[in-house]
Amino acid sequence: MPKTLRFTRQHGWLLLVLLALLLALCCVAQATPSLSAAPKTAQNLPARSGSMVYLANRPGATIEPFVRPELARRLAALRPTILAAARRHNRPALSGMRDTEFAAVIAVVIYNENFGWLEDDIAPLRVFTPLYQDLQRQANEQVPGSNFSVWPTNLRPSVALEILEQQLPLADTRVISVPVTVEGSRIDPHAYKSREALFAALTNEISQDDLAVAYLAANLERGILRAASDGMPVSWRTLAAWHNQGLVDPRLIRANPTARDYVRRASAYLPLARALVAPDAPRHQFINMEWM
């Protein structure tokens, strides 16, 4: 009996997520007309945004740039924080970006991370997204061994630790030290006696909006440095793929279905990101933020 109770405390959040998914899928099953009578050809199969099979047939930005009102309010309040973080972490000589363009990349990533392909494909799931986001945060703080992504930037504690320890993994598996810092962080990784306590503290920081922006900007700076180390060009797509999959090589990004879909989805948020960080700036100032 004690083991059963312990399992319930540690993994009840998983049951809640599964229940939410099942309820949403039931709603979709009831609302979606059957396709069984139609011949299964490439022309009438549904082109799901999260499907690797149909991904290549969906060029450009074809998704709905959905933003929850609550997230829109938070990002509006974070605008000065995002701009300040961009000034600290952009490296114009390497990125070729203005600070406002780098700030727009920060915003694009946050927009994209808070609305994934599953919510796009299954609209009823949108109501459950804040729930599982909070459950993953709680798991990191309470369940030993957890290393789940934490919103608003969908960053794992393990990656946050890499950033704090100024580590940058390279394509050849080496790890080098880079002068990247996180403004406002109060964590000294060496002050914690256990990995669980450290990850709980990291989870607490990366779940706070202002610190989440600081960590994200620092991670994108690492993306610039990684691209420079690999001799790769830098664009908003490079940095988005770096944050999502740790890739900076355009060929690898195109060849990776997850990274390719992530960049495609992110492109839908470019106008919103530009409007957030520089609402009065002429469009030509964001030449590096165009979808190409």
> DSSP assignment of 22-82, as one string?
HHHHHHHHHHSPP-TTS---TTTS---TT-HHHHTT--S--S-----HHHHHHHHHHHHHH
SS3 138: helix
- Can you tell me the distance from the alpha carbon of 190 to that of 158, in angstroms, rounded to the nearest whole number? 14
Q: How far apart are CA 211 and CA 198, in angstroms?
A: 16
- The neighbour count for residue 5, using CB atoms within 10 Å, is 9
CA distances for 156 relative to 42, 124, 140, angstroms: 37, 26, 9
Query: The whole model's pTM is what?
Result: 0.74
Per-residue pLDDT of the chain (292 residues), as tens digits, is 444 334 444 455 555 555 445 444 444 343 333 333 333 332 332 222 332 222 333 444 457 788 888 999 999 999 999 999 999 999 999 999 999 999 999 999 999 998 744 544 445 455 555 655 565 656 656 656 667 778 799 899 999 999 999 999 999 999 999 999 999 999 999 999 999 999 999 999 999 999 999 999 999 999 999 999 999 999 999 999 999 999 999 999 999 999 999 999 999 999 999 999 988 776 666 655 554 3
Residue in the block written with tokens 């700076």: 221
Instruction: Give the integer Cα–Cα distance in Å for 112 and 64.
Output: 11
Cβ-based neighbours of 176, under 8 Å, separated by 6 or more = 167, 168, 170, 229
Give domain limits for the chain.
67-114+151-289
CA distance 113 to 150: 10
d(CA 278, CA 225): 25
